[in-house]
Chains A and B, each alone.
Chain A
Amino acid sequence: MASKSNGVEGSEWARAPPPTGTCMGRVAKIFYDPSDGSILGRTPKRWGIALVFYSVFYAVLALLFAACMGGLFLTLDENKPSFILESSLIGANPGVAFRPMPADGVLVEVTNNRTSESYVRQLREFLAPYSNDSWFTAKSGCTEEDNYGFPSSPCFFIKLNKIYGWIPDLYDVSDLPSDMGSDLVEYINSLQPPEREQIWVSCWAEAAGSGSVEYPWGAGLPARFFPYVNERGYRAPLLPIRVTPNVSNSTIAIRCRAWAKNIRYNKSLKEPSGYARILLQVNDFDA
C-alpha cells in the first residue's frame, strides 16, 4: 500500500521544458527559416537595411576620424617637430650608435668572407649618400677600397643620434674631464686649436688586451655639423674606428664614448647613455 506512488506523479524535469525539434532541424533553421524566409536570422530586406545603416555609420565614423587627423596635421610643421629637445621625449642627450648593425641584433659575427660580405654591403649602402661630400671622400682608411677592414680588422662607423636643434657643449682643452683617457688628452693637445672644436670619441676594449682600436680619421666629430635643423641634404658626421682583435674565437666588447659637456655618460648596461657598445666575434676563418 505504502509502496505505491499514492497518486503523486514523478517527473523528470523542473523549470524549463526540454527543447523541441531535432538537433539538425534547429541548426538548419538558423541558416534558413522557412516560416519567415529569414537567412541567418534576417530577411533579405532587413539585411539590406542593416547594410545601409552600417555603411553610413562607418563612413561617418571614418570621416570623423579623418577630420580629426586632418586637424592634427594642420597643427604640425613639415620640418620641425612640435616638441624639441627637453620639451620632447627624445630629450637633449643624443644616443651614440654605430654601423654596421649586427645581423642578429646584438653580435657582429665575422666568421669568413661570406658573413663579412653582408656587413660590407650594409656599410656601402649606408655611406653611399656621403659620396658627394668632400670631407668624406678626402678621408683614407676604412673606405670601400680596403673593404672597410673586413674581415680581419673591421671598421665601425660611430655616429651621434640626430636631435633637432641640439648644439654640443664642447670641452675646453684646458678643462678636460678627469676620467678622460690620457691618450685622448694627448691627441687633443697635439691638434691645432681650430681642429679642437670637436665632440671627442674614445673607444676601448672592455676586457683589456682583447683587441686594439685605431682611429684612422681622428678621434672627433666636428662641431660644425651641429645643430641639426632638418635641412635638405644634411648628413651627420661619422667617425670610423678600426678594431683589431688580439684573441680569436671569442667575443670582444668595444665601448665607444662620445665626449661633450651635454652628453651624459652612464656606464650601466641597463640604462646606457653616452656610449655605444659593439660586440664583435671574430672566428678562425679555417674553422
Chain B
Amino acid sequence: MDTIIETTRGTVKVIRFNKPQKKNAIDGDMYLRVTKILNTAASDDEVSMVVLTGTGDFYSSGNDYSVSRPEGAWLQILGDFIKAFITFPKLLIAIVNGPAIGIAATTLALCDMVFASENAYFYTPFSKLQITAEGGSTLTFPRLIGQRKAAEMLLFNHKMTAKEGLESGFINRVYKPEELQSKAWEKIQEILKSFNKMIPMSTKCIRDGVWNSDLPVSSLVKGDIVHIKAGDVIPADIRIIESKGVVLCCGDLTALGRVAGLAARLQPEPSPLAREIRRFMRYMSIWALSLGVIIATASIILGYPFIQTTIFVIGMIVANIPEGLQPTITASLTLTAQRMVKKNCLVKNLEAIEALGAVTTICSDKTGTLTKNKMCVRHIWIWDRKYSVADPDFESTLQVNQALKAIKICGALCSTAVILPNGDIQGDASETAILNFLCAYDDPVTASVHLNKRLSRYVVVIKGAPECILSRCTAVVMENGNVNITNEVKKAADNATEDLANTGERVLAFADLILDPKEFPMSFDFDTEEINFPLEGLRLIGIIGLKDPPRDEVRQAIERVRAAGIRVMMVTGDHPATARAVAIEVGIATTAACHVITGNDLRNMTSDLLYLTLEKHHEIVFARTSPTQKLQIVEACQRQGSVVAVTGDGVNDAPALRRADIGISMGITGSQVSKQTADIILMDDNFATIVLGIEEGRKIFDNLKKSVCYILISNVPEVLPVFMFILFSIPLPLGVMTILCIDLGTDMWPAVSLSYEKAEADVMERPPRHGDPLVSARMLRLVYGHLGLIEFAAGMYAYFTVMAEHGFYPADLFGIRERWDNEAVNDVRDSLGQEWTYAERKELERACQATYFIAVVITQMMNGVICKTRFNSIRDVGCF
C-alpha cells in the first residue's frame, strides 16, 4: 500500500500520510517522498499551493521507530525533509485531522496555515526521548506561541489541545472533525480566488518582429503590436490595424491613465459636514474671542487685577467654545462607520457618510448597480406565442416543441462563446447568456450530438437583429412542422419584436437553412468573408429576448430613496430603450414618458439648456453617455445646488466620483482607481446599501444637531452672569470654576451620548436637509432666545434665593460689587443690618454659585430630554 498519497486538485497539490495502522508514523521512504513532492511543486508553475493531511484519526505520530534505518544517511534524509518545508516558496497548508506528534508537530510550525479538527493535539516529547527538539522548533515555537509556552511544550512534554493551540496562535482555525475537510477546503478555495485576482494580466504581442505570447501588460511599450480578441481587456491605448493594434500610449499616458491621474490630482472641496463644522467653529471662535475682548476691557476698566481678568477671559472663551462637539462628531462617525461595514459598506472618508444623508440627487449607473450585470434570456418567442423563462411551467409546456429544439441547436452553434473545461463560459455577454440558458434547460453535451448530423449535410445557422433576419425568411417553424411565412406571420413576429424591445430587452432572432448536400458537398469550402452560400429563404426559428435583470432589492430601495425626497437619475452607456425600460422597472421613472437624454443630445446642449432640462424634468434618464458626460451631468446638478452622490465602477468614472459630493464605488466590479477616488465603497455592489447610508447620514446630522443644540444652550447661563456682574454690579453669580465644571464636566457626557441616539422614525420621509445648516438661525433663536434664557432665569432665581435667605435681598445686591469684592472692607451690611466680613461674603458667594450651577445642571437635564428628539415626540421615542 502506498504510504504517501499524492493527488492534485486544480492547482493544489495534496499530500496525504497514509499509514493508518501505525498512526501515520513517518518512515525513511515517506520522508524521501514528501521531500521530493515539495521540491518538485516548488518549481512547478501549475501548483499554487500544497496541502498536507493524514488518513484516519491521526495526522501523524512522528518518526516511525519500528523500521530500521541507516545511521549516517538518516540525518541527511531528515535534514532534507525539514529544509524542503523551510525553503518551500508557495503556500503550505496543513489540515490536521488528528493528533500531530514529534516531527509532525514541528513541521506544522513551518506551514503557512494550519486548520485542525477538535480532536487534534500537538505533542513534542523530545526531552522524554532524550533527543534535541528538531525542525527548527526551538526557533519557530517561541515565535508563534511565545517563549514560555514553547518551553512548556519542548522541555516539559506539554500536550497542547487544539483549543489551546488556537488560543496561543499555533493554528489558524479549529473545526469539528466531521466538518474539517469541507470547511478547510472552503478556506483554501477562498485563498485560491484571491490568488486569481492577483495574477498579473498578460497579453500577446509582437515586438521587434518577435512573437511574445505571454507578455505582462505592464511591460508593454509604445510601438508593440498587440493581438486582441473578443472579451479581452485592451491593455493600452492602441490604434487598430487589421485586427491588430499598435500601442500608442501606455500607463499614465493612456486616456484611462489620464483620467485616473486627473482624479487623483483633483483636490475635492471638504465634505458638507466638514464645511459646516468649519463654518460653525469659525463663527463660534469669533464670537467667543470678541466676548473675551469685551469682558477683558470691562474688567480692566473696573480695576480688576490682570490675573483676575485673565481668568474671566478664559472662562468666557471656554464657556463659548463647544468642547463636546469634537468627541460627538468622532463618536457618531465611528459608530456609523462600524455599523456600515457590517452592512457591507466601507466608508473610506468618515465625513462622507454624513454627506450621504444630505444628498439630494443620486446619479446611478445601471449595469452592476441597479442590475445584476448578468445577461439572461428572459423571453422566447416561438410561433405564435411569447414564453417567459421565469414562468414555472416554461419547461413542461415546451418539452416537445420542435421549435425550441431548433433554437437550442441554433443558439449553441451560432456562437463564438466557448465553454471552458471548468464549466465557465467565455465570450460576448449575449452569447454567454444564451449558452447559460441552454445549459440550464438542457445538457450542453447534446450540442455535440447535433454536430454529428451536420456532417452529412451543412446547416446555415444565423442570428441577429430581427428586422434583418425576418426579411430573409420564407418559412417559420411551428410546433409540428414548417409553414411558409405570410404577411400575418411577419406581422406577428414584428409585433413580438417590438413588444420585447419596448421592455428594454435585447432582441435576437434565430433562423437556419438546411443546405442541399448535392450543391454543398462535404468538401465545399465556405467563405464567410465573401459569402458563397445562400442567406435567403431561411426558416425562422424564434426570437429571444435577453435582459440584464434588475437586482431584486433595487426597486424597493429606490422607492425609499424617492420617499426621502432624493432624485435618482440613471446615467448609462446603454441604449435609450433599454435604459428607459430598466428605469421604469426599478422605479426611477414612474411613467413611460420619462425624459431620456442621450449622449448626443447632451453634446449639443448648452449648460443653460441642461440646467433648464434638469429643472423641468424630475425623472431623467441619461443614455448612451460617455464618462466625461457623467462629469458634466454631475456639475450641472451641483450648479443647481444639489448635493450629488455618484456611483461608478470604471476607471473613467473616477473624475465624476471625485467631483461628486459623495463618490460611491463598487467593491466587486469596481476598478482600483474608482475605489481609491470614492468616499464609500459598496462591498456587495448593492444599491440598497445606499439607502442605509442615507439613513445613517441623516441620523448623524440629526444627532449632531441635537448635540450642538444641547452644548450651546448652557452658553447663555454661563455668559450672562458675567454681564450681570459688570452691568449691575452684583456679586458674580457664576464663577470660572463652575463654568468649567459645566462645560467640561456635566455637559460633555450628555452631548456625546446624544450621538448614540437612534434614527428618528420619519428620517427617511423628510426631504434632504437643503439649506439647513448644522447651526441654523432658527436653532440659535431657540438656544439663545428661549432655552438659554429660561436656564438663566432659573439660575438667577436660585442665586437670589440663597442671597435672600442669608439676608441680602435682590434690591440691595445691585451696586454692591465694589464693597463686596473689597478685601479691606470687613463689614458689608445686608438688608437686615447684619455685617459680613470678606471671608463670610465669599463663602456666601460660592454657595450662590453652587446653587446657580445646580440650577443650570438640572435645567440642562431637561434640555437633554428636549434635545433627544428633533421631530418625533419624546413619548414615541421614550426616554431610555
A25 interfacial by beta-carbon distance below 8 Å = no
The answer to whether A81 touches B628, judged by C-beta atoms less than 8 angstroms apart, is no
Given contacts A14-B268, A16-B269, A57-B786, contact A81 B840 (CB under 8 A): no
Determine which of A9, A106, A230 lies in contact with B824 in the assembled complex, contact meaning CB atoms within 8 Å: A106
Indicate which residue in A17, A83, A159 contacts B827 across the interface (CB closer than 8 Å): A159
- B365 lies within 8 A of chain A by Cβ: no
Q: Decide if B832 touches A164 in the complex (CB within 8 Å).
A: yes
Residues of A within 8 A of B259 (CB): 8
Q: Can you show 10 pairs from A to B with CB atoms below 8 A apart? A: A8-B628, A9-B631, A81-B806, A81-B830, A82-B806, A95-B826, A101-B825, A105-B822, A164-B833, A272-B839
Q: B428 contacts the other chain (Cβ, under 8 Å)?
A: no
Q: Are B255 and A65 in contact (CB under 8 A)?
A: no
Q: Note all chain A residues with C-beta closer than 8 A to B271.
A: 15
Q: Is B759 an interface residue (CB 8 A)?
A: no
**Which one of B255, B800, B824, B836 contacts A6 once the chains associate, using CB atoms below 8 Å?**
B255
Contacts of A5 in B (CB 8 A): 258
Chain B residue numbers with a CB within 8 Å of A58 are: 789
B844: chain A residues within 8 A (beta carbon)? 89-90
B837→A15 contact, CB < 8 A: no
9-residue interface stretch from B25-33, B143-151, B246-254: B246-254
B-side contacts of A15, CB under 8 Å = 268-271, 638, 659-661
**Are B266's CB and A7's CB within 8 A?**
no
The answer to whether A81 touches B805 (Cβ under 8 A) is yes
| Cβ 8 A contact of B847, one of A79, A82, A89, A162 | A89
Q: Please tell me if the beta carbons of B659 and A82 are within 8 angstroms of each other in the complex.
A: no
Q: Which 3 A-B pairs have the closest CB atoms?
A: A95-B837, A15-B269, A161-B835
Q: How far is the CA of A70 from the CA of B464 in the complex (A)?
A: 94
Instruction: Return chain A residues, CB-CB under 8 Å to B253.
Output: 2, 6
Q: What chain A residues lie within 8 Å of B267 (beta carbons)?
A: 14
Q: Say yes or no: A97 contacts B826, CB within 8 Å.
A: yes
Q: Give the chain A neighbours of B655 by CB distance below 8 A.
A: 8, 11
Known: A57-B785, A97-B826, A105-B824. 4 other contacts (CB 8 A): A7-B628, A72-B804, A81-B806, A97-B835
Tell whether, in the assembled complex, residue A8 and residue B258 are in contact, meaning their CB atoms are under 8 Å apart: yes
Q: Which of A157-211 contact B (CB under 8 A)?
A: 159, 161-164
Encoded as 1 (CB less than 8 Å from any B CB) or 0, chain A from 98 to 109 comes to 000110011000
Shortest Cβ distance from B831 into A: residue: A81
Size range of the chain B interface in the assembly: 35 or more
Residues on the B chain within 8 Å of A17, using CB: 635, 638-639
Which residues from A are CB-within-8-Å of B824? Answer: 101-102, 105-106
In the bound assembly, the distance between CA atoms of A28 and B829 in angstroms comes to 57
- A85→B421 CA distance, assembly (Å): 103
- CB–CB A230/B833 < 8 A: yes
| B314 touches A (CB below 8 Å) | no
Q: Which residues of B contact A30 (CB under 8 A)?
A: none
A46 → chain B, closest Cβ, in Å?
12
A276 CB contact (under 8 Å) in B826, B833, B843: B826
A 206-220 binary contact with B (CB < 8 Å = 1; else 0): 000000000000000
Shortest C-beta distance, B309 to chain A (Å), equals 18
Distance, CA A80 to CA B801, complexed state (A)? 15
Name the CB-closest residue of B to A104: B824
The chain B residue with its CB closest to the CB of A95 is B837
- B797 on the interface (CB 8 Å rule)? yes
Q: Is A163 a contact partner of B628 (Cβ separation < 8 A)?
A: no
Complex Cα distance, B825 from A95, in Å, reads 11
* Complex CA distance for A271 and B793, rounded to whole angstroms: 34
Interface presence of A27 (CB below 8 A):
no
Q: Give which listed residue, A1, A90, A159, contacts B249 with CB less than 8 A.
A: A1
Shortest CB distance B650–A (Å): 14
Q: How far is the CA of A106 from the CA of B628 in the complex (A)?
A: 82
Take A81-B805, A90-B806, A97-B826 as given contacts and tell me if A161 and B836 are in contact as well, using a CB distance cutoff of 8 Å. yes
In the complex the two chains form, is A161's CB within 8 Å of B834's CB? yes
Chain A residues with CB below 8 A from B631, complex form: 9, 11
A83-B825 in contact (CB<8A): no
- Give chain A residues whose Cβ lies under 8 Å from the Cβ of B806: 81-83, 88-90
A268 and B270 CA atoms in complex are apart in Å by 61
Q: How large is the interface on A (under 10, 10 to 19, 20 to 34, 35 or more residues)?
A: 35 or more
Interface residues of B in 308-343 (CB under 8 A from A): none
Question: Residues 227-245 of chain A: 1 if any B CB is under 8 Å from the residue's CB, otherwise 0?
Answer: 0101000100000000000
A81→B807 contact, CB < 8 A: yes
Select the residue from B255, B275, B829, B832 with max chain A CB neighbours within 10 A: B832
* B-contacting residues, A29-80, CB 8 Å: 41, 54, 57-58, 61, 64-65, 68-69, 72-73, 76, 79-80
Q: Given A5-B258, A7-B628 in contact, is the A81-B826 Cβ separation under 8 Å?
A: no
A9-25: which have CB < 8 Å to B? 9-11, 13-17
Contacts of B830 in A (CB 8 A): 81
Interface residues of A (CB under 8 A from B): 1-2, 5-11, 13-17, 41, 54, 57-58, 61, 64-65, 68-69, 72-73, 76, 79-83, 88-91, 94-97, 101-102, 105-106, 159, 161-164, 228, 230, 234, 271-273, 276
Given A14-B658, A72-B801, A81-B834, also A161-B248 (CB < 8 A): no
Verify B804–A76 contact, CB threshold 8 A.
Answer: yes
Please give the distance in Å from B275's CB to the nearest CB on chain A: 8
Q: Is B810 located at the chain interface by the 8 A CB criterion?
A: yes
Asked if B460 is at the interface (CB within 8 A of a chain A CB), the reply is no
Q: Give the CA-CA distance A228 to B840 in the complex, in Å.
A: 18
Q: Pick the residue among A10, A69, A91 that contacts B840 (CB under 8 A).
A: A91
B262 at the binding interface (Cβ < 8 Å): yes
**Structural contact, B843 and A16, CB atoms closer than 8 A:** no
Q: A8-B628, A57-B786, A159-B827 are in contact. Are A95 and B835 (CB under 8 A)?
A: yes
Which residues on the B side are within 8 Å of A105 (C-beta)?
822-825
B778 nearest CB across to chain A (Å): 11
Determine if B111 is an interface residue (Cβ-Cβ < 8 Å): no
Q: How far is the CA of A5 from the CA of B271 in the complex (A)?
A: 29
Q: Is B790 an interface residue (CB 8 A)?
A: yes
For the complex, what is the distance from the CA of A72 to the CA of B798, rounded to whole Å?
Answer: 10
- For B232-257 the 0/1 string (1 means CB < 8 A from A) is 00000100000000001100011100
Q: Which among B785, B790, B829 is the interface contact of A54 at CB below 8 angstroms?
A: B785
B677–chain A nearest beta-carbon distance, Å: 11
* A41 contacts across to B, CB distance below 8 A: 777
Judge whether A82 and B258 touch: CB under 8 Å.
Answer: no
Partner of A161, one of B659, B661, B837: B837
Cβ contacts under 8 Å, A7 to chain B = 255, 628
> How far apart are B222's CB and chain A's nearest CB, in angstroms?
8
Q: Do B826 and A72 touch across chains, with their CB atoms under 8 A apart?
A: no
Please give, as numbers and ranges, the residues of chain B lying within 8 Å of A161 by CB-CB distance. Answer: 826-827, 834-837
In contact, B834 and A163 (Cβ under 8 angstroms):
yes
Evaluate whether A10 and B262 lie within 8 angstroms (CB atoms) in the complex, with A72-B800, A161-B835 already known: yes
Q: A61 vs B786: C-alpha distance in the bound complex, in angstroms?
A: 9
**Cα of A194 to Cα of B266 in the assembled complex, Å:** 100
Q: With a CB–CB cut-off of 8 A, which chain B residues contact A65?
A: 793, 796-797
| Given A15-B659, A95-B826, residue A162 in contact with residue B834 (CB < 8 A) | yes
Task: Check A11/B266 contact, CB under 8 A, given A69-B800, A161-B826, A234-B833.
Answer: yes
A11 to B823, CA, bound (A): 69
Shortest distance in angstroms between A91's beta carbon and chain B's nearest beta carbon?
Answer: 6
Assess whether B835 is in contact with A163, with CB atoms less than 8 Å apart: yes
Given contact pairs A95-B840, A102-B824, A80 touches B832 in the complex (Cβ within 8 A): yes
Q: List the A residue with the shortest CB-CB distance to B819.
A: A101
Chain B 806-830: CB-based contact to A (< 8 A → 1; otherwise 0): 1101100000000000111111011
Residues of chain A within 8 A (CB-CB) of B790 are 61
Which residue among B660, B824, B844 has the maximum number of chain A CB atoms within 10 Å of its CB?
Answer: B824
Instruction: Say whether B834 contacts A9, CB under 8 Å.
Output: no
Task: Provide the residues of chain A in CB contact with B840, threshold 8 Å.
Answer: 89-91, 95
Residue on A nearest B642 in the bound complex, by CB:
A17
Q: How far is the CA of A81 from the CA of B271 in the complex (A)?
A: 61
In the complex, which of the residues A6, A11, A54, A96 contacts B826, with contact meaning CB atoms closer than 8 Å?
A: A96
- Specify which of A6, A7, A91 lies most central, judged by the most chain B CB atoms within 10 Å of its CB: A6
